[in-house]
Amino acid sequence: MGVGLLLVCHGLVTALVVISFLCGRWPIFEGTFIQRIHYFLTFGAYDYFLRFVGAVFGSKCTNAVLSVEYYCCDRPNPLLQIIYLVIISFTYYFAVNSSFAYIPGYYLSATHKYTSFFAAAVGILLFLLTSFTDPGTIKAENVSQYLAAYPYDNIIFSKKECSTCKIPKPARSKHCSICDRCVARFDHHCGWMNNCIGERNTRYFMAFLLWHFLLCMYGTVLIGLILAGRLKELKVVYILTVYYGIENSFWDLAPHVVQILLIVFVAIVGMLLGGFFGYHAKLCLSNTTTNETFKWQDYMNWQRKLKEAQASAAALKQSISGMNSEKQSLSSNKWRAFFRRSPLEDVVVVKNNVYNKGFLHNIWEIISPLSTRQSFTQTKLKSN
């Protein structure tokens, strides 16, 4: 009973921490304990740590910690890349040590020993491709081609110059302050990849997310079938009561406990990766980037406020003109005011994304970036 309770608590705490850390800023969690846990994990704990260091060790140690923070968060560094490799290596190691002894089993063939290694290797390959592929760096040599490939929509992108690179800034690009370069079709800077996600490596990033989601689901099902096979072969009652025996102890169940912990961890990570992939897939299907999503939100909010102000001004003008017209009975005016539709309800702001050219075209632009096509090179020749 104690082991089962321990496993349930482990799963709940792991899910709570992971969901709070990654999803705590979502509007649905606003004002909840999930948001408070997120704040503590991302800001509060670090703030308390800085205060503790300052109080115990002085300002020099605080400055040293801030220097480390600057290096880890604001400069290119391989820290998260190393953490990723450690996570996937140790997860695979624990899976091999706890589960491969039961393959082949009641439900699984020996093939899964090799397919699991292949799946993990492909995941690492996609990680390396995303990390080390040029995201679409814009330079003086290719800026004219990117200007032709991505026209300005004069809504969220207009003609301007990058204040850092001192070259024209093509539409959909952004200067990354961490990498210190302008990136075409900039989506975001990914610390896990130590690289920007842009025009040329979005395809690898999407493949990375999808493959790791499938890898987590595969691992969950695989370990689940191993456990199911062991229950079938050794009988359920024996598995559940073996650690109560005189000759056996809790350590006899250690491989199965590790397997259950792995299932919980891999399943939670898989669900989060699936959600993250779904979000980016939706962006790709509409030919929008994460950076553009924030720009559109700002633009739509500004347009909505502008139209609401215009509607309010028109309603006020109409009310004033109505007061100067022929007077009506007081009761009639009250009923009309009660049932009158607010002019603010008619305010509609339309998003006009000129880069959305249809489902198939948008997907093809991810698979085959514009700068990898022959037409891009021909544009370069013409510009010369």
Give Cβ neighbours of residue 379 (< 8 Å, ≥ 6 apart).
144, 145, 148, 149
Do 173 and 138 touch, CB atoms closer than 8 A?
yes
Return the HEC string of the chain.
Answer: CHHHHHHHHHHHHHHHHHHHHHHCCCHHHCCCHHHHHHHHHHHHHHHHHHHHHHHHHCHHHHHHHHHHHHHHHHCCCCHHHHHHHHHHHHHHHHHHHHHHHHCCCCCCCCHHHHHHHHHHHHHHHHHHHHHHCCCCEECCCCHHHHHHHCCCCCCCCCCCECCCCCCECCCCCEEECCCCEEECCCCEEECCCCEEECCCCHHHHHHHHHHHHHHHHHHHHHHHHHHHHHHHHHCHHHHHHHHHCCCCCHHHHHHHHHHHHHHHHHHHHHHHHHHHHHHHHHHHHCCCCHHHHHHHHHHHHHHHHHHHHHHHHHHHHHHHHHHHCCCCCHHHHHHHHHHCCCHHHHCCCCCCCCCCCCHHHHHHHHHCCHHHCHHHHHHHHHHC
Angle (nearest 5°) at CA 135 between 71 and 269: 70
Alpha-carbon gap, residue 8 to 3, rounded angstroms? 9
Q: Is 9 a catalytic residue?
A: no
Helix axes 202-234, 79-99, angle to 10 degrees: 20
Alpha-carbon gap, residue 190 to 196, rounded angstroms? 6
Catalytic residue among 9, 179, 190, 216: 190
Write out the catalytic residue numbers: 190
